Structure 1
Amino acid sequence: MSKSVLVPLATGFEEIEAISIIDTLRRAGANVTIASINQDLIVTSAHHVKIIADSLLKDVSTDSFDMIALPGGYDGAMSLAKEELPQQVIKEFHQKGKFVSAICAAPIALHSAGVLKGIEFTCYPGMEGLMPGGIYIDDQNVVVSGKVITSRGPATALAFGLTLVEQLFSLDKAKELAAGMLKSCC
């Protein structure tokens, strides 16, 4: 059975993180849907790169997805944390026991949805003060706490993507991908 991942994008997302997530998961064979939380399919990143989403988040049925993966970028992450629809979707994934993941500033959206309460997480250094109630881990690039996966920032994006592959598929699949990408893994 094919695995499906939802990647919501908001204006101001971090492009290295988004593309690393999308590319790594697609290389693994996941069906990745890029969903704009805006009213338009074109979403502008933090550094003015425009990505065309596959659909609008409001038009996506979340039932068929196994994971949600949130790229960071401060402005994008704050939109994911403050806007009602992305918050509703994050809560739904978490309540259904699906994988919920975020990198860089995006764990703030998980915090807003109540996902980080009492669990270990990491994020971009300095953001942790905005997320009381979770257990901040500052010495790991990627932290896996059950079905919640978090990472630190742009330089950890590939490791984050490979960890998502490991959690969704297997360690062997992540190692296979890493070898093909000339990256030591896992």
Structure 2
Amino acid sequence: MTKKTLVLIANGSEEIEAVTTINVLRRAEIEVDVVSIEKNGHDAVKCSRHVRVVPDKSLDDIKNNQYDCIVIPGGNDGSKAIAANVEVGQILTKHYQDGKIIAAICAGPRALLSHKIGFDHKHTITCYPTVRKEFTDGEPYKLDVPDHPVCYSKHIEEGIEKKEYHLVTSQGPGTTMVFALKLIELLKSKDEAIKVKDGLLV
């Protein structure tokens, strides 16, 4: 079955993080929907360095869709807009509770904090260095050591039905390739991630 990923973008999103992730995931034949959270959801989004990205869909188009992974890029203004969007919060919460991967890079983890994703599960996360001050280490998340470019945190609940909860976080534009390859590993396999990595000469 084809794996499906949602990449959320807004005016002010970091284009390296958004476009590189989209590109790398598609190289692994993962289906990616690029979705704008803006009111005019089909219009081009102006990213943080003025690169314009045309979304595939709007939030209204994907309300009832189910994805295997949701990606939140950074960018100061873009991450703040995603963090403030109520509908995004509902989508993230549902997917997280359903055991899907929630992934955020750079300033993107602001959205995890504002939408209270995984608050009860003591996940370890990372983010852009200047954004670390917005988090209190240990509550609700533990901050990973600064020299880890990507952090994958899984929480398992044992019971009648075993449940898993997944967060993947990364530090910034320069760590995007490693971030995207980690998502391929989790969504498909380590072998597939290595195949894509080799093709990229990483």
TM-score by length of 2: 0.87
Pair 1:119-2:127 in alignment: no
Q: Which residue of 1 aligns with 2:16?
A: 16
- Matched residue SS, 1:100: strand
Q: Which runs of 5+ in 1 are unaligned?
A: none
Q: Which residue of 1 aligns with 2:151?
A: 143
Q: CA deviation at 1:129?
A: 2.2
Q: Name which of structure 1's ranges 97-106 and 121-130 shifts more when overlaid on structure 2.
A: 121-130
- Matched residue SS, 1:174: helix
- How far does the alpha carbon of each residue in 1:73-102 deviate from its partner, in whole angstroms, 9 at most, with x for none? 011001111111111111111111110000
Q: Which amino acid aligns with 2:143?
A: Y
Residues in 2 aligned to 1:2 and 1:59: alpha-carbon distance in whole angstroms:
20
Q: Which residue of 1 aligns with 2:83?
A: 81
Q: Which amino acid aligns with 1:140?
A: H
Q: Which residue of 2 aligns with 1:152?
A: 171
CA contact (8 A) 2:66 2:95 kept: no
Q: CA deviation at 1:62?
A: 4.6
Residues in 2 aligned to 1:106 and 1:181: alpha-carbon distance in whole angstroms:
25
Q: Which residue of 2 aligns with 1:104?
A: 106
Within 5 A, what are the aligned runs for 1:61-80?
61-80=63-82
Counterpart among 32, 44, 47 of residue 46 in structure 2: 44
Counterpart among 87, 90, 95 of residue 92 in structure 2: 90
Q: Name which of structure 1's ranges 114-123 and 16-25 shifts more when overlaid on structure 2.
A: 114-123
Q: Which residue of 2 aligns with 1:162?
A: 181
Q: Which residue of 1 aligns with 2:157?
A: none
CA contact (8 A) 2:83 2:110 kept: yes
Q: 1:116 to 1:64 in 2, by over 3 A?
A: closer
Residues in 1 aligned to 2:150 and 2:131: alpha-carbon distance in whole angstroms:
15
CA RMSD of aligned residues (A): 1.1
Residues in 1 aligned to 2:64 and 2:13: alpha-carbon distance in whole angstroms:
21
Q: Which residue of 1 aligns with 2:195?
A: 176
Which one has the largest radius of gyration?
Answer: 2
Residues in 2 aligned to 1:36 and 1:102: alpha-carbon distance in whole angstroms:
16
- Alignment size in residue pairs: 183
Q: Which runs of 5+ in 2 are unaligned?
A: 155-165
